[in-house]
Structure 1
C-alpha cells in the first residue's frame, strides 16, 4: 500500500474529503458488513438507496462497474477492514438532507426499507433475521438475508443437508426454515433413523413419529446418531427426512443391522417412487449380505407392520415361513413386549426391556429359535437427489 493511499485514507477518516454532507474515502472499500449489492446504479442513487434501508450506515461505490454495496458498518467504525481498490470510493456520514421525498423524514424499524407511496412513505421488509434459527452441527453464513435471497449454510464434515430453497419472504419470515438442518452421514449415506435394542422404544411407532426431528434437537447427543449401540441412548435418532420422504427424490435405502458394535447384515432397496411405509419389501431388494434375500424370493412377511397378534408384536419382519417355534425360518424381526409367542420373541436382557432384534448371522436364512443372535441396533440410511 502506497504512502499516498495511507495519507488519503487518514484524511478520509477525518472527514476531509466531502461530497455534499457525506464523507468520502477515495480508492477504498469496506470488505465486510455488506447488507445488499445493487447493480447499474449511479453514485447519488447509491447513497439514496442507503437511506431507504434502516440498517445501512455507509456505501461502497464502484465507479467502473457502477455497483453499490450497502453496508451495515462504515470505514470510520471499522478502519481495519478498509481495503485499497482504485475502482471504489467509500462514502459514510450520510445525511438524509440529500433526499427530497417522503422517505427523507421517515425512520423505519430494523431490517425494513422506506418506499415512496403516492402520498406518503411506507416501511417494508428488506430482510429476514437468521439469529432465531436453530442449526446443529452446522453454521449459517449471514445474520440477515434480503427478501428473495436464499439462506446459505454449511454443515460440519460428516453431515449432509437438504438441497432445498430456503428464502427470505416479503413477510420477513424464512420459507422452509424448519428444514434447516444437518444430518449425520455414514460414508456416502445419510442416516434417517436408528434405534437400539432394549431401549424401551417402539420400533415402528418411533420411525413413523411424525414431526420428530432429532437433528434439530440441541440436547440430542451426537454420539446417539452413530450406527453402534451407546448404552445411554434410549431415544431413537429419528429425523425429519422420514416425514419428507416423498420430497427427497429417494434413490436407494440401506437397512443395516449391528451386532457387538459391528455391522453384521444389510439390505439395499430401490427407493424410486417409494414412501416411508412401502419401501421395506422383498420386491424392492437390490442387494443383500444374505444371498437368499432377493427380489424373487418368496416371503411370508416382509414389511414394516409385520405380524401383530394378541400375544406377539413382530415388526420390521423378514420371515420366510412358520413351522412352529422351533421350525420358524427367516432373517430378521423386531419384537416388542410380547405376552406369549416363541422364545425368540423374548429378550435375554436383564432387566427385561424391549425391543428385541433377533437376526440371522449366516449368509442364508436361519431357524429363529436356534440360530439367530440378538442384534444391538438397526438403522435406515438414504441416498436421495435432494441430499448433499
Structure 2
C-alpha cells in the first residue's frame, strides 16, 4: 500500500491484462494512488467476471473500498446483508492475509460466508485456501453470498 519494496522500474508485464508477459513483483501505480480520483473499474485476466462499482468521491486510495460506497454490484445481496469485513486490508491474521475482502460471517472455516477476497498467504488458514497457490482470488460465482468452502470459484496465478 505504501510502496515499500516495490521496484521503481515499470516493466511491460505490469501493464497487461492477459498475463502473456512475465511479472515477478507486485505493481503499485504511484501516480494513481498519490493522485487518487475517478477510479471505477477493475478486470481479471482481461475480462470481467464479477464487479462492484464504488462511489469514490471524497475517498482515499484505501477508503473507496468499503461498505456503503457501492453503486452497482454483481451480487444481489451484497448491499442488504451485513459485513463483518469490507476493506482492502481485510483479515490480517498471519495465516490468512486476506486482502480486498468482503465477508458476511465467520463461523469456523467450513461455515464462513462471504462474497470474495484476495489471498496472499501460503498455506492459508482454511482448507479451501490450502488447495491453491498464493496469490489467489476467491469469489462467489452465484448472485448471493455463499460458503467459502466448497462453493467458491477459485482462481490463482502461480
TM range (shorter): 0.7 to 0.9
- The structure-2 alpha-carbon separation of the partners of 1:228 and 1:340, relative to structure 1 and needing over 3 Å to count, comes to closer
**Aligned residue in 2 for 1:374:** 154
How far does residue 371 in structure 1 lie from its aligned partner after superposition?
Answer: 1.0
Q: Give unmatched runs, 5+ long, in structure 1.
A: 1-206, 378-388
**Aligned residue in 1 for 2:41:** 254
Matched, 1:299 2:83: yes
Partners of 1:230 and 1:330 in 2: how far apart? 31
- The structure-2 alpha-carbon separation of the partners of 1:228 and 1:332, relative to structure 1 and needing over 3 Å to count, comes to farther
How far does residue 345 in structure 1 lie from its aligned partner after superposition?
Answer: 2.5
Partners of 1:236 and 1:340 in 2: how far apart? 19
Query: Deviations along 1:230-257, whole A, 9 cap, x unmatched?
Result: 4622323421211222xxxx2453244x
Find 2:74's aligned residue among 268, 289, 312.
289
**Aligned residue in 2 for 1:242:** 33
> Are the aligned partners of 1:210 and 1:243 in contact in 2 as well (CA < 8 Å)?
no
Matched, 1:317 2:101: yes
Which contiguous aligned blocks of 4+ residues in structure 1 show a shift greater than 4 angstroms?
210-214
- The structure-2 alpha-carbon separation of the partners of 1:327 and 1:343, relative to structure 1 and needing over 3 Å to count, comes to same
Partners of 1:224 and 1:345 in 2: how far apart? 25
Find 2:3's aligned residue among 196, 209, 213.
209
Structure with larger RCO (C-alpha < 8 A, sep 6+): 2
**Aligned residue in 2 for 1:274:** 59
- The structure-2 alpha-carbon separation of the partners of 1:227 and 1:293, relative to structure 1 and needing over 3 Å to count, comes to farther
- The structure-2 alpha-carbon separation of the partners of 1:313 and 1:220, relative to structure 1 and needing over 3 Å to count, comes to same
Structure number with the higher strand fraction is 1
The count of corresponding residues between Structure 1 and Structure 2 is 156
Partners of 1:336 and 1:237 in 2: how far apart? 14
Q: Give unmatched runs, 5+ long, in structure 2.
A: none
- Normalization by structure 2: what TM-score? 0.81
RMSD: 2.7
**Which secondary structure state, in structure 1, belongs to the residue aligned with residue 150 of structure 2?**
helix
**Which is greater in Rg?**
1
Partners of 1:212 and 1:244 in 2: how far apart? 18
Find 1:362's aligned residue among 112, 137, 142.
142
